[in-house]
């Protein structure tokens, strides 16, 4: 059976930064190719992507990940049925969650009941559960378990359909993630550096009788790197999770834009390290997902002519061609956005275009695979610009 898979390959150089730190405050690292690499966890970039969705998608297309599920449904009940007291709204909300089979902890005095783990729910699911809860409460009936579970199974938001949901108590409510994100790795070895800093007490410094010593001293760890970022999106599973072709196209375009442009916020105030990728390669495949991280198993070396980003782009293009030649198959289509010499190094990988053009082209290709009517040629301005 022909599949529709999108692979995202991104090269992004980040200056001194600490995007994603471990329990000791150090930038995360990982061994690869026999050397230590900078690493940014997949969870960090998935959250950054989800947060970025809010700039492009309606709130009704999005979900919330929280333990405070009773409060969410209670607020939805209260907003539509103000005649109910806050206590009754929460009682009804707890009853509907109990009916789904998801365990809600008994609250401490003065606290609102919470689930024992983070629950990912869409705005539409919250509204539907609120209506069911209100109806059962106002009629004095028990909440129908099958109906409650069916409401949590359907009406998935775009972010929920992409990143999935695991429910330990009721496996039937699980949603398989249609998107997988790899840990970003530097294409070269890294060394962790230490920034020793002092903070001056302004009021003390202004006092002529006091010394001008620091009011605080400390250190913060950082590194800098050219990162290879990879994600893969199963469009067929995304379509199954959403149950709607137009929503699937919208989700693909939103993910393309947000995954590329987003960045984890770790230590942003300290380093102001916000950058955009120098190279983006998106491939549509009909066989299986293929990461090109093997291009960097041998650490990238720089020369007087090439910086790390250009050398990384050359390795990526070379490896992509070698993989296709070795296996006798390659992507159905590939779109490329590149800046300067990085773009030139990626020229042979696919059709080069602006980022807005790339987002539009990916969306149009998905439309054709889903059998939707096209909305113009691939060079048209994206609806996400």
Is it the case that residue 108 has pLDDT exceeding 90?
Answer: no
Nearest partner of 247 among 120, 154, 131, judged by Cα = 154
Which of 262, 62, 273, 83 lies closest to 163 in space, CA to CA? 62
Is pLDDT at 382 greater than 50 in this prediction? Answer: no
Q: What is the pLDDT of residue 7?
A: 98
CB distance 10 to 230 below 8 Å: yes
Average pLDDT score over residue span 47-58? 94
> Percent of the chain having pLDDT more than 90?
82
> Encoding tokens for residue 19?
């995007």
Is 0.75 topped by the overall pTM? yes
Which regions of 138-278 does DSSP assign to beta strands (E)?
Answer: 179-181, 184-186, 193-200, 214-234
CA 316 to chain centre: 23
All structural domains of the chain with their residue ranges: 5-55+178-191+220-370, 65-156
Question: pLDDT (tens digit, 9 = 90+) per residue, 60-99?
Answer: 999 999 999 999 999 999 999 999 999 999 999 999 999 9
Task: Give the pLDDT confidence score for residue 112 in this predicted structure.
Answer: 85
């Amino acid at each position: 059976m022909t599949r529709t898979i999108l692979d995202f390959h991104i090269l992004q150089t980040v200056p001194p930064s600490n995007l994603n730190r471990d329990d000791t405050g150090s930038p995360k690292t990982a061994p690869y190719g026999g050397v230590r690499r900078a690493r940014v966890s997949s969870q960090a970039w998935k959250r950054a992507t989800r947060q970025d969705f809010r700039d492009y998608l309606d709130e009704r297309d999005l979900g919330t990940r929280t333990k405070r599920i009773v409060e969410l449904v209670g607020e939805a009940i209260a907003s539509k049925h103000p005649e109910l007291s806050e206590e009754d709204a929460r009682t009804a909300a707890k009853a509907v969650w109990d009916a789904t089979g998801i365990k809600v902890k008994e609250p401490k005095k003065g606290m609102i009941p919470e689930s024992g783990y983070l629950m990912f729910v869409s705005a539409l699911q919250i509204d539907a559960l609120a209506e069911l809860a209100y109806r059962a409460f106002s009629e004095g009936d028990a909440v129908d378990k099958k109906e409650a579970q069916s409401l949590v199974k359907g009406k998935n938001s775009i972010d929920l359909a992409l990143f999935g949901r695991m429910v330990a108590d009721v496996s039937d409510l699980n949603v398989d993630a249609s998107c997988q994100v790899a840990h970003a790795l530097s294409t070269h070895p890294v060394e962790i550096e230490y920034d020793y800093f002092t903070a001056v007490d302004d009021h003390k410094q202004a006092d002529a009788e006091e010394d001008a010593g620091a009011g605080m001293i400390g250190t913060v760890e950082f590194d800098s790197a050219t990162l290879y970022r990879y994600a893969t999106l199963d469009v067929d599973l995304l379509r199954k999770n959403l149950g709607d072709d137009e929503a699937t196209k919208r989700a693909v375009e939103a993910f393309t834009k947000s995954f590329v442009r987003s960045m984890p916020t770790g230590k942003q105030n300290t380093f102001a390290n916000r950058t955009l990728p120098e190279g983006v390669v998106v491939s549509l495949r009909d066989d299986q997902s293929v990461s090109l991280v093997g291009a960097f198993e041998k650490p990238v070396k720089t020369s007087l002519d090439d910086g790390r980003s250009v050398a990384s782009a050359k390795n990526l293009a070379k490896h992509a061609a070698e993989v296709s030649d070795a296996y006798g198959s390659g992507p159905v289509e590939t779109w490329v956005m590149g800046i300067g010499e990085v773009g030139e190094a990626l020229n042979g990988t696919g059709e080069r275009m602006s980022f807005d053009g790339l987002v539009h082209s990916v969306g149009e290709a998905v439309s054709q695979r889903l059998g939707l009517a096209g909305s113009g040629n691939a060079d048209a301005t994206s609806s996400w610009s």
